[in-house]
Structure 1
Amino acid sequence: MGGIVIIIFLCVSVLGAEKTAREIYPSYELTKRINDGDFVQRIEGLMATLWMITLYIKMALYFFASVLGIAQILNLKDYRPLTLPLGWIAVVLSLVVYPSVSYQQEWDDTTGTSFSLSIGLFLPLLLVVVYVIRKKQ
């Protein structure tokens, strides 16, 4: 959490509040401006590489957790037969759900907040209520 605050502080202090708000990836824009004499320059490639590695690891962990969870729900002894079909489903969904960056930003601004609240807040609360009711019976 502290790292995010530091990045936001650096972006606002270097780029300004308006440019930080307008940029899709302000931290990438910040790394493009790093210039320490003739020694440290153009490190945005390193930043992009680190982002790609991080995204790959996150995607692999989410995919593994999904496949393992579905295998447990279906009472399967092995999760590996589900990896290829769910991988194809993930690829197709990645192309269909967000066809462009502008569509993603519009969806995030209009629908994303209510969807996140329903999945992240109301569904867990509903599960807790159902658990408490079942435990009393």
Structure 2
Amino acid sequence: MEFLDFEPILEYGFKPIVKAGFSFSGFQEMIVLLMIYPYVAKSAKRGRGFVWGTLIGGIVLIIITVGCIGVMGAAVTANQLFPAYVLAKNINIGHFLERIEGIMMFIWILSIVMKIVLTFDASLIGLCQLFKLKDSKPYVIPMGFGLIALALLCYTNTISVNDFLTKNWTPFATIFTIFVPLFILGILLIRAPGASKSKQENTTENEQV
């Protein structure tokens, strides 16, 4: 790693960093994990695990980003589609530990499979909650075929996907990450006083009976 590759630091100010961070936050992994959050067995430790998982994941991303910029430079890193894979090719420790991109690819594929499983499970949970379905097992195979069809329709090629993620994904994801949660929260805040009042009335009637 070369320190000169990090210069000039904040050449264009904080605006590009905030914009990129906001775009990156629109991938909604946190929303997917919150769908599975209530089903964690050890409920007492799930909050701590959620926070620590988020922190560790963020630290790993920071280390990989710093490594890519320090080894390849900002311009080369920005032009690479998979900079972490290119970084793994350049690792050489004592002419012994080198060419570990195969390990990197294995970890990558494994993490993608886990992400697909979690996302699919969260979508299945959301479908059952939306239509008040008691059993989700009959809908696993139909949704699996739907997932394959949707993948073929959405991801035609790498160029179209990058163009969509760059221009359209952030405003589209904002609907689900900001506006819909705020809308639901507003409804709950409006309904909460009435619900608590009716609960108190029912408790009083039961005590009188």
TM-score, L = length of structure 1: 0.92
Distance 1:67 1:14 in 2: 42
Query: Is the Cα contact below 8 Å between 1:71 and 1:82 reproduced in 2?
Result: no
Report the AA paired with residue 68 of structure 1: I
Report the AA paired with residue 119 of structure 2: Y
Mean Cα deviation higher: 44-53 or 60-69: 60-69
Higher relative contact order (CA 8 A, sep 6+): 2
Higher Rg: 2
Compute the displacement of 1:96 (Å).
0.3
Distance 2:96 2:74 in 1: 29
Residue 62 of structure 1 is aligned with which of 119, 143, 155?
A: 119
* Partner residue, 2:147: 90
Residue 128 of structure 1 is aligned with which of 181, 185, 188?
A: 185
Deviations 1:2-40 (A, max 9, x none): 111111111111000101111111111100111234422
Structure 1 position 74 matched with structure 2 position 131: yes
Compute the displacement of 1:60 (Å).
1.0
Distance 1:135 1:18 in 2: 52
Compute the displacement of 1:56 (Å).
0.7
**3-state secondary structure, aligned to 1:45:** helix
Report the AA paired with residue 54 of structure 1: S
Distance 2:146 2:91 in 1: 40
**3-state secondary structure, aligned to 1:77:** coil
Query: Is the Cα contact below 8 Å between 1:32 and 1:44 reproduced in 2?
Result: yes
Structure 1 position 102 matched with structure 2 position 159: yes
* Partner residue, 1:112: 169
Report the AA paired with residue 136 of structure 2: Y
- Count how many residue pairs are aligned between Structure 1 and Structure 2: 137
TM-score, L = length of structure 2: 0.62
Compute the displacement of 1:70 (Å).
1.9
Report the AA paired with residue 151 of structure 2: S
Residue 36 of structure 1 is aligned with which of 93, 96, 109?
A: 93
In structure 1, list runs of 5 or more residues that go unmatched.
none
* Partner residue, 2:77: 20
Which stretches of structure 1, 4 residues or more, deviate above 6 A after TM superposition? Answer: none
Query: Is the Cα contact below 8 Å between 1:32 and 1:42 reproduced in 2?
Result: yes
* Partner residue, 1:2: 59
In structure 2, list runs of 5 or more residues that go unmatched.
1-57, 195-209
Distance 2:171 2:130 in 1: 27
Deviations 1:49-99 (A, max 9, x none): 101011111111221222233224333332110001000000000110121
